[in-house]
């Protein structure tokens, strides 16, 4: 008499749901990055993918418990569904952690935002009001997001800013180079995040009496939460710019030395006869 060993239906459904969750997670990200689907639709599809992945993990856990007691087949299917489900849930866990770690904000700047205007795309002209932090909150959460002043003229600092922005791979949409050391320079760059959200950076280099000052703004386009990306971007960029300016001054030691004054007339100091 042959004993028929059954395959757990929970294990079968676990692998099916896990296999379905992968394309539901990956394809919308690609479409969103290429702007083939709008952000609201992207959010709905991603939520559905998360639910499918959670169901795959749920079915896998039930299958593993039942297989332990019944001896049915399906261990491989259950483990595959568990693995795929957890992989698909990992991004949701990461963004959940960032949402808990950073406050709800979509626009960070080192100075008044009206001084650092964004360049809107045609379909984002009517952006919703941004979520902002108070000055005290921003200083506490992003202490490095402050105006930088350097003992270099605006033209020199602008060249360093542009080189650093290009090295970051940012898509520079507006470039206003200062014609000389007394003019203000500005860069506007567009950034596409890993999952396809659009963010814009504005950098201003303004001459001062002792050199130049750099202000920066980073804002998310049509986003509800930036998960800390704007504040971290400004902080990292300005810290890197500090290093670039320090290296430039180190390699050009004579740049900060004032011009030699005319030699003062020598005064003879002899003893009275």
With left for phi above 0 and alpha for psi between -120 and 50, is residue 227 left, alpha or beta?
left
Task: For 22-59, write each residue's pLDDT tens digit.
Answer: 999 999 999 998 889 888 899 899 999 999 999 999 99
Which residue has tokens 């479409």?
Answer: 31
Does residue 268 register a pLDDT over 70? no
> Which H/E stretch holds residue 62?
helix 39-70
Prediction pTM value:
0.81
Task: For 95-154, write each residue's pLDDT tens digit.
Answer: 999 999 999 999 999 999 889 999 865 544 455 667 788 889 999 999 999 999 999 989
Two structure tokens written together for 255: 């740049």
Instruction: Give the closest residue to 171 by CA, choosing from 194, 190, 197, 193.
Output: 190
Does residue 87 register a pLDDT over 90? yes
> Which H/E stretch holds residue 171?
strand 171-176
Return the SS3 of 202: strand
Half-sphere exposure (CA, 13 Å, Cβ side) for 141? 22
What pLDDT was estimated at residue 132?
86
């Amino acid at each position: 008499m042959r004993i028929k060993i059954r395959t757990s239906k929970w294990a079968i459904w676990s692998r099916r749901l896990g296999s379905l969750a992968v394309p539901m997670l990956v394809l919308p990200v690609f479409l969103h990055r290429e702007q083939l689907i709008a952000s609201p639709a992207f959010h709905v599809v991603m939520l559905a993918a998360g639910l499918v992945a959670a169901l795959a993990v749920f079915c896998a856990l039930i299958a593993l418990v039942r297989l332990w007691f019944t001896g049915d087949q399906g261990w491989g299917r259950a483990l595959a569904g568990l693995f795929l489900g957890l992989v698909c849930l990992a991004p949701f866990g990461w963004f959940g952690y960032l949402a808990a770690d950073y406050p709800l904000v979509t626009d960070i700047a080192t100075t008044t935002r009206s001084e650092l205007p964004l360049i809107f795309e045609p379909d984002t002209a009517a952006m919703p009001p941004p979520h902002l932090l108070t000055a005290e909150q921003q200083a506490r959460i992003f202490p490095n997001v402050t105006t930088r002043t350097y003992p270099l003229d605006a033209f020199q600092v602008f060249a360093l800013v542009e080189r650093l922005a290009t090295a970051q791979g940012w898509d520079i949409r507006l470039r206003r180079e200062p014609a000389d050391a007394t003019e203000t320079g500005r860069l506007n760059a567009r950034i596409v995040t890993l999952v396809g959200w659009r963010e814009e950076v504005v950098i201003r280099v303004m001459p001062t009496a002792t050199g130049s000052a750099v202000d920066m703004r980073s804002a998310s386009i049509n986003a509800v939460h930036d998960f800390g990306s704007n504040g971290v971007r400004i902080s990292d960029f300005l810290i890197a710019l500090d290093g670039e300016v320090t290296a430039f001054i180190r390699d050009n030691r004579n740049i900060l030395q004032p011009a030699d004054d005319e030699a003062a007339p020598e005064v003879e100091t002899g003893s009275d006869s």
